[in-house]
Structures are given as C-alpha cells and as structure tokens.
Amino acid sequence: MSKLWGGRFEQTASEWVDEFGASIHFDAQLVLEDIEGSIAHVTMLGEQHILTADEVTQIVAGLNTLANKAKADDLTFNVFHEDIHMNLEALLHEEIGPVAGKMHTARSRNDQVATDMHLYLKRRVLETIDGIESVQKALYDHAAQNVESVMPGYTHLQRAQPVSLAHHLLAYFWMLERDKERFSDSLKRIDMSPLGAGALAGTTFPIDRHRSAELLGFDQVYPNSLDAVSDRDFILEFLSNASLLMMHLSRFCEELILWSSEEYRFITISDVFSTGSSMMPQKKNPDMAELVRGKSGRVVGNLMGLLTIMKGLPLAYNKDLQEDKEGMFDTVKTVQGSLSIMAGMIQDITFHTDTMKQATERDFSNATELADYLTAKGMPFREAHEVTGTLVRYCIDQRLYLLELPIEMYQAHSELIEADVYEALSPMTAVKRRNSYGGTGFDAVRTQLKEAKKNLPTHA
C-alpha cells in the first residue's frame, strides 16, 4: 500500500524512519475525537453540496462503525500510516471502499489534528474541574468539623500564631478555587474550531466553518487560518494551569508529610494511602503524598517542554508540533490521578486536634497577643513589641512559657499588665478574637465556610 500522501515521492522511507516519524503510538488516544471531527466535516460538506447525500451517508456510517470498534478496543493501527488521521482513513477505506477518499475534501491534517486536540482538552478540562471540586469537598468537610480546633500557625516553618485548623484547611480550598477559575476561564480559548482552516490558507471549496463548529459544539471559529493550525496557546495554558494546580497540591502534601511525622503527630494518614518499608518493619510512609509532590515536577516539565518547542517556530504548521501531545496526555493523566488520590487521602485523614492544641500551649505563638494587649492599653506598638520580646527572652532563659510567668514579672516590665493578661494569652482566646474579614477567628471562619460552600456543586 502506498502512503496516502505518496504521489509526489519516488523513494519510500525505511521502516525505522517511519517508526521515528510516526505519532500513532500516542495520538491513538484521539481516535474518538478524530472520528467526531470527521463526521461533522463530512456532514457540512454534504450540506454545502460538496459531497452527495449518498457519499455522506456511506462515510458517516463507516465512521460510526469505526467508532464502535474503537470503543470495543477492536481497531488495529499501523505505523506505516503514521498518525491517527491516516490510520482511520485507511481503515475507512477497508470498510466502504474508495469513497473514503472523499472524506478529506477541503481539509488538511493540520486543521484536523488541531480540532482533535481542542475537542480532547475541552472534555479533559471539565473533568479536571470536577476533580478539583472533589478535593475541595474533602477539605470543606474537615473544615466544617474543626472550626474551633486550634493548631500552631507557621511562618518560615516557625510557630507564629495559633490558628483554627479549619482556617488552615480553607487556605487550600481557596487556592483550588483559583485553579478552578483558571481552568474555567481557559475554556473560552479551548472552545474554538480550527476545522476548515486547511493546511494554512483555507480552501477554494464553499465550506461553512461555522456550521462544522456548531456540529462539534464549539462556541467560536478561529478567524485566521494561519493562526488556527499553528496555535498551541490553549495547550500551553492548560499546562500552565495544571502546573499551578500541582504546585498547590504539592504544598499541601508537604504539610501532610510533616504533620504525619513523629515530630508533629498532628495527623494520621490512612493505611490505604501509605506504604511500609521492606527493611524497617515499624515504618509507615506517606508515599501517596510524596508521589503527588514529586509529580508536580513532571507537570512543570511538560509545560517547559512545550514552551521550548514553540518559542522558535515560524508560521504555520511544523512537524515539531507533533511533540505537543505526549506532554498534554501525560499531564491530563497525572493531574486527574493526583486529584483522585488527594480527594480520597484527605477524606480519610484523622486529625489529632488534642495534639495540635497542646502544641499551641508549649510555645511562644501567643507573644503577639501580649504585644496587642499592651497596645490596646495605650502603649505604642513598637514599645509593646520591645517589652514582649524582652519577656520572651527571659522565659527562654528560665525555660518557661508566657502563660507560666508570674504576674509580678509582667508588672515589673509594665504597670499596664493586669491579671486578665492570662486570658488574653490563651491560645483559644487568641484565635477566637481574630474576627477581621478573612481572619482565623471562629466567627470569621464560619463566615468563610458559608462563602466556600457557594463554590461547591449543589449536590456536594
């Protein structure tokens, strides 16, 4: 069998050259999108009287047969035919004969493959949004149960001020909400049809690109044929959004790994999402959290790979663009797998709230409360900061904490301090009082939970 494009050529490529140039090994994943795009294209050709009704009927019937075989995993592809487009055309030829050759009228593989990827990503982005909401739901459920659970809050990985556990969890909820918004916004640029742009310059046939876009459910049509076949911004945007999402998941995984350690003992990760050691029988490793953390680098690498491919390409289509798919497919698989793992792992976490609370009572994270206490009594904040720092240094030297310091010592540093200072220094009080909008105060967190719930699907 000759190549479907072989009329111009006298020599045939060696088998290993075909192998190197072929993309069927990975773009077979686009089989259903390719068939869907071809059905819409052929339907439009029939409506425009470019193909006869009988030709359209034969081609569409043959394509539907191939689609059913694809769903049953009953199609065999050949490297000789290079890619999913030519493989399907060859298979269609086997089904319906020479009329299959009319399917490609007024179309190029350049606009065909771009159409396939738009269709593919549109679906995968919607699935990704669903996956994000599953993780958000798991975070929300734990937050709703832990508004008044107190834990240390950190800056520089040093204990800073006590916070509500719910407040800490909701910080990740809102990160994911921004991720969701970015993916949702990207649909405007994914939901565009390149079909009918041809190789680069359009076609002389009286096609209706808006009709084929309508048949495929696209909202817009690329207004420039050169841009239509060479644009990969929509994939780059997906990879960028995915990189941000994975970075957020990685940050949370890092905290889960720390919190599950003997040094923290804040949480227990379910056995389902942990593994053991082949040598050390006592070990329980947070491997799934570590894997998600590691896979963030994989996704960022896919983004950098495509950016590097695109940066020097002239218009319009170049064979380099064949390298746009594997990173996209890998990112979809990695992100969706990571979201599934995260949703299940978070849902099954046991939070040791007593341990968290005890941690806030054996540190100096309430020092800011003392400074604020003095400021509220009329002392300038900078002076209050100095007095508090002096008292903290004294406590460290004496191996005491602020709640253990006698009232006489407080009053020796400032006559403004009275017995009510101990209530002000209580971690629960410290958290409860911070009710500025977005703060960790219990009332503020309950307000935050109400806002968060609005961003979950109604069935959640």
Is residue 156 among the annotated active site residues? yes
User: What tokens does 304 get?
Assistant: 């950098």
CA dist., res. 329 & res. 339, Å (int): 16
CB count in 10 Å sphere of residue 336? 16
- Residue position matching structure tokens 């800073």: 160
CA dist., res. 126 & res. 112, Å (int): 22
Four-residue CA torsion sign, 31, 36, 39, 45:
negative
Catalytic residue among 49, 156, 278, 459: 156
CA dist., res. 192 & res. 311, Å (int): 22
Closest CA to 94 of 55, 65, 133, 136: 65
CB 70 within 8 A of CB 35: yes
Indicate the length of the chain as a whole number: 460
CA atoms within 13 A on the CB side of 378: 4
**Count of helix runs (H) and strand runs (E) in the chain:** 19, 6
CB 166 within 8 A of CB 179: no
Is residue 134 among the annotated active site residues? no
CB count in 10 Å sphere of residue 1? 9
For the purposes of burial, counting CB atoms within 10 Å of the CB of 394, is it exposed (0-12), middle (13-18) or buried (19 or more)? Answer: middle
CA dist., res. 240 & res. 234, Å (int): 10
User: What does the CA dihedral 146, 165, 168, 130 come to, rounded to 10 degrees?
Assistant: -30
CA dist., res. 435 & res. 442, Å (int): 7
129 Cα distance to chain centroid: 8
User: What tokens does 50 get?
Assistant: 């470019």
Closest CA to 107 of 41, 49, 166: 41
Q: Which residues are catalytic?
A: 156, 277
